[in-house]
Amino acid sequence: MTTTTQSEQDRVIIFDTTLRDGEQCPGATMTFEEKLNVARMLDDMGVDVIEAGYPFASDGDFEAVHEIAKRSKNSVICGLSRAAHKDIDRCAEAIKPAERGRIHTFLSTSPVHMKYKLQMEAAQVYEMVISSVTRARNHTDDVEWSAEDATRTEFDFLCRCIEAAIKAGATTINLPDTVGYAVPEEYRELFRKVRETVPNSDKARFSVHCHNDLGMAVANSMAGVAGGARQIECTINGIGERAGNAALEEVVMAMRVRQDRLPYWNRIETTMLTHASKTVSAATSFPVQYNKAIVGRNAFAHESGIHQDGMIKNAQTYEIMTPETVGVKGTSLVMGKHSGRAGLIHKMEELGYKLSRNQIEDVFVRFKALADRKKDVYDEDIEALVDEQLLHGQDQIKLMSLTVIAGTHGPQRATMKLDVDGQIRIEEAEGNGPVDAVFNCIKALVPHDAKLELYQVHAVTEGTDAQAEVSVRLSHEGRSMTARAADPDTLVASAKAYLGALNKIVAKRQRSVREDAPAVAVAG
Q: Which of 444, 443, 435, 454 is nearest to 493 (CA)?
A: 435
Q: Which of 213, 171, 248 is nearest to 17 (CA)?
A: 248
In whole angstroms, what is the distance from residue 447 CA to residue 514 CA?
19
- Output the CA torsion 376→380→386→390 (10° steps): -160
SS3 label, residue 335: strand
Which residues lie below 8 Å from residue 59, measured CB to CB, with a gap of 6+? none
Q: Could you report how far apart the first and last alpha carbons of the chain are, in Å?
A: 57
For the chain, give percent helix, strand, coil, nearest 5: 45, 20, 35
Helix (H) or strand (E) holding 79: strand 76-81
Report whether 145 contacts 165 (CB < 8 A).
Answer: yes
Flag whether 392 is marked binding: no
In whole angstroms, what is the distance from residue 400 CA to residue 7 CA?
62
- Output the CA torsion 287→293→295→296 (10° steps): 50
Three-state helix/strand/coil letters over 353-364:
CCCCHHHHHHHH
Helix (H) or strand (E) holding 15: strand 13-16
In whole angstroms, what is the distance from residue 130 CA to residue 383 CA?
54
In whole angstroms, what is the distance from residue 54 CA to residue 59 CA?
10
Q: Return phi, psi of residue 7, to 5°.
A: -115, 160
Q: Return phi, psi of residue 200, to 5°.
A: -105, 25
Instruction: List, in sequence order, every residue forming a beta bridge with 476; answer none if it has no partner.
Output: 479
Flag whether 211 is marked binding: yes
Report whether 277 contacts 242 (CB < 8 A).
Answer: no
Report whether 210 contacts 183 (CB < 8 A).
Answer: no
Q: Return phi, psi of residue 241, to 5°.
A: -60, 145
In whole angstroms, what is the distance from residue 134 CA to residue 198 CA?
19
Flag whether 21 is marked binding: yes
Flag whether 449 is marked binding: no
Q: Return phi, psi of residue 370, to 5°.
A: -65, -45
Q: Which of 168, 222, 189 is nearest to 12 (CA)?
A: 222
Binding residues for Mn(2+): 21, 209, 211, 245
Binding residues: 21, 209, 211, 245
